Each structure stands twice: as structure tokens, then as C-alpha cells.
Structure 1
Amino acid sequence: MVPEAKSERFTVAVQAVDGAVVLALAGELDHDTAQPLRDALDGALAPGRRLLVDLAGLGFCDSTGLNVLLNTRLAAQETGATLELVGLHGPVARMFRITGADGVFPVHSDVGEALRTTRGGGA
């Protein structure tokens, strides 16, 4: 697992919490900054693993970031893992809502709430 990956405008902090792997994103996720997220997700993805992607610190996400998450969701499903979103807000939440992507991921208000729910359960 990659503990932290970053670019000038984007960081991913990865930690294991209560049987899940939490990837906390911060900054701007776009075509130029997506590679650290790809690397972190590739490092965290394992059969049966629960991944919680915390978007609370994300100020911007474009279609590249969305596609990274959607592709990882498909890869997770193939291995029995789950990819869940946490902390959708502001413009990032709007982009997920407009594209309908918020309907294909389990979404939680915060990491604590996600950890209290059944694996893959929505908020």
C-alpha cells in the first residue's frame, strides 16, 4: 500500500482503519494530477478489501478523476472488493450528481458513518 502520494495540487493519504483502507484526497483532481490517485488505488486494491475514498478535502474533480474512480470500482467488483465514497460536497458532489455517478457508488457522509455501516451500504 502507498502511504501517501502527491503532486503539487493534489495529495492522497492512505491508512488502514477498522478493517478498511481509507484514501483521503485533498486538492484538485484532474488530468494532470490523477496519477497519484491511480497509484494509491492500485496499491490499496486487493481481493475482498473495503476501500473508502474520502473526498471531503477535494475542491475539484474533473472527468479524469471520475473515470479513475469508476474504473477502480469495476476492478474492485471483479475481486470482491468494494469502493465507497465519503464526504461528497460542493462542486464535486454536483459533478457526481449530474453524471449519475453518485448512484453507482455507496456514498457516506463521513468516514465514521461509513465505518459504522455494513460493508458497501449506502447512507
Structure 2
Amino acid sequence: MEPEADRERFTVAVTTVDAAVVLALAGELDHDTAQPLRDALDSALAPGRRILVDLAGLGFCDSTGLNVLLNTRLDAQQAGAVLELVGLRGPVARMFRITGADGVFPIHADVTEALSAVRDGGA
């Protein structure tokens, strides 16, 4: 097993931009690192809230990370919120494409585009 010090550290940075909560993920999202994402998503859920999950800094995502996002998408719908993905790239984008998960989320190239989509009347 790979020593913890050699693994790329996973982080979630939470900010609010134009009334949207932005969760910027970085590092590797897997079974061992998913809890901070779960906690941040749970805290962000609120009726009418728009949650943008920025995956541009994510180097790896396994099925646990995908399931966290899929389950939160359903929770967001029930809460009257919306969960959108931003910055899908590389192996993370490939995993979403292969599983078909890219078809169930609104996806934007970057946070600026996502915020413009609302101002321009789309999402």
C-alpha cells in the first residue's frame, strides 16, 4: 500500500460567488478521502441553492467519489437545490463519460461560464 505522505492530498475549498456555493476540489477523490466532500456538500444543501462543484483540480476520482456526487444530486433535487459540475478534464471526465454520469448533471467548462449561464437565462 502506498504511504499516505506520497498520496496527493484531497482538499475542498468552499466559497460563495454570485449567490452560488462553489466547491473547488483538488487532489484525489476516493474511498479514503470522500468524507470532506460529503460534509461540504451536506453543508451546502439548502432550498433554492445552486451548488457548483469545480473538478478542474481533481486528478483522480473513483466510484466512491462519483457516488457521492450522484447521491447528492438526488438530495439536491429533493431539497429544491441544483448541483452542477464544472471543469471536467482528463481521467475524471473520461470516468464520467464512460459511466454516463455526464448526462445527468449540468456541466460547464469553468465557474465563469456556469455563472454566465444563469445571468444569460440558461443553466
| TM-score, normalised via structure 1 length | 0.90
Gaps of 5+ in 2: 1-7
Aligned residue-pair number: 114
1:51 pairs with 2:57 = no
| Identity %, equivalent residues | 84
Consecutive aligned runs of 4 or more in structure 1 exceeding 4 Å deviation: none
| Distance 1:103-1:75 versus aligned 2 partners, 3 A rule | same
| 1:68-111 CA-partner distances (Å, limit 9, x unpaired) | 00000000000110000000000000000000000000000000
CA-based RMSD of the aligned residues comes to 1.2
Aligned to 1:106: 106
Q: Which has the higher helix share?
A: 2
Separation in structure 1 between the aligned mates of residue 100 and residue 9 of structure 2, nearest angstrom: 26
Gaps of 5+ in 1: 1-7
Aligned to 2:5: none
Aligned to 2:14: 14
Query: Which protein is bigger by CA-based radius of gyration?
Result: 2
Separation in structure 1 between the aligned mates of residue 45 and residue 27 of structure 2, nearest angstrom: 22
